[in-house]
Amino acid sequence: MLTFTGVTRRFGDVIAVDNVSLEIAEGEMIGIIGRSGAGKSTLLRLINRLCQPDSGDIRWQGTSILALKGRALRQWRCHAAMIFQQFNLVLRLDVLTNVLLGTLANRPLLASLFKIFPAEARAQAVLELDRLGMADAALKRTQFLSGGQQQRVAIARAMQQRPELLLADEPVASLDPVNAEIVMQQLRDINVERGITVIVNLHSLEIARRYCRRVIGMAHGKVVFDGPVSALTDAVVAKIYGSRYASEEVGEHLGEPAAQALTEAVPLMAVS
């Protein structure tokens, strides 16, 4: 169980996360939606402590993660794996080494510095890549891969970390629709088959609806909606995105007339 209690984070005058309180149970698959600048990214980065809250508490299974330091903090980051919109892989290294970076938190420093990874770790990495269909590319240099392929390598690295949580910060925003589907499918499989709690930031309402069971809507740093996808009414969507943008945001994938119809039909949609 991941709990947020009154968490606030400011950047200068801007309140990125405003007194947020949440509870996320293990095994959930959650989509966080909202406009750019609503605080989604900051919220996610607070979980793995890439960002520190100004006030409030964040707990995982009862223990506060804010007090963690040094080795314990790095272990936590290993347990709360993150993937990024720009993939953030080390382009000049090969795919396998990028995946093996997931083991850094648990290996001795000197061995890692010299890129000495045991055969077991390499085998595990190959298996993770295989589950994503990337095993053949293991020794290719990462910069030669397409966007969708790179994101899958990033997922493989996240899995190499044997995480309990998977944090995905706009993982498909830089991908074409086909690859976006592939990646979202992978995230769902990870949630269903491995029982890992998945929290995804999404800018596409449609994807959130299709893949997540629970949706958190953010606007101006506050949580304005928290519930099942079925409860995403037109009014709620307007609150999250601002009324002018309600159908526009949805319309990006579907086109205007379909978007209108969808927005009107929202109360009738069920989650698969």
Partner 1 sequence: MQGEAAILTAFEGAWLSQRRQVRRVQIFTLTGVVVVLALSVWLSGITATNIGDGLFERIGHFFYRMLPHLRWDSLFASRETPGSLLSWFYALPLWLKAIKETVEMAFVGTLLAGLIALPLSFGAAANVNRRGVLRQVIRRGFDTLRTIPEIILALIFAAAFSIGPVAGALTLTISSAGSLGKLFSEAIENGDVRAVESVRAAGGNWLLQMRFGMLPQVLPQVMSYWLLRLEMNVSIAAALGVVGAGGIGVELDQAISFTDFSTYLAILLILVCIIFAIDLVSEQIRHRLIGGLGKA
Partner 2 sequence: MAAALRINPQAVRPPLWDQWKYWGLFAAVLAAFLAAVHDLGIGYAVLSAGVLKLGVILEAMWPPSDGEAAVRIWFAIAQTLGMAVLGTTFAALMAVPLGLIAARNVVANPALHFAIRRIMDLFRGIPALIWALILVAAIGLGPLAGILALAFADIPRLGKQFAEAMENIDERQRDSIRATGASDAMVLRFGVLPQALPIWLSQCLYSLELNFRSAVVVGVVGGGGIGFELQERIRIYAYDEVAYIIILYVITVSLLDLLSARLRGNLI
Give the span between the Cα atoms of 116 and 76, in whole angstroms.
23
Burial class of residue 198, CB neighbours in 10 A (0-12, 13-18, 19+):
buried
Q: Helices 147-160 & 119-131, crossing angle to 10 degrees?
A: 130
Q: Nearest 10 degrees: CA dihedral of 193, 195, 201, 207? A: 40
Number of amino acids touching partner 2 (CB under 8 A): 15
Q: Which is nearer to partner 2, 119 or 178 (CB)?
A: 119
- Contact residue for partner 1 among 95, 153, 154, 259 (CB under 8 A): 154
**Which one, 14 or 91, has the nearer CB to partner 1?**
91
Residue 113's binding partner among partner 2, partner 1, none (Cβ under 5 to 8 angstroms by kind) is: partner 1
Q: Interface mask (CB under 8 A) for partner 2, residues 48-87, using x and -?
A: ----------------------------------------
Kindly state the number of chain residues that form the binding site for partner 1, as judged by CB under 8 A: 28
115: left (phi over 0), alpha (psi -120 to 50) or beta: left
Task: Select from 271, 180, 183 the least CA-distant residue to 230.
Answer: 271
Site string for partner 2, 219-238 (x = CB under 8 A): --------------------
| Residue 22 or 50 with smaller CB distance to partner 1 | 50
List Cβ neighbours of 130 (8 Å cut-off, separation of 6 or more): none
- Contact footprint for partner 1 (CB under 8 A): 48, 50, 74-78, 81-82, 84, 86, 88-93, 97, 101-102, 104-105, 109, 112-113, 154, 157, 161
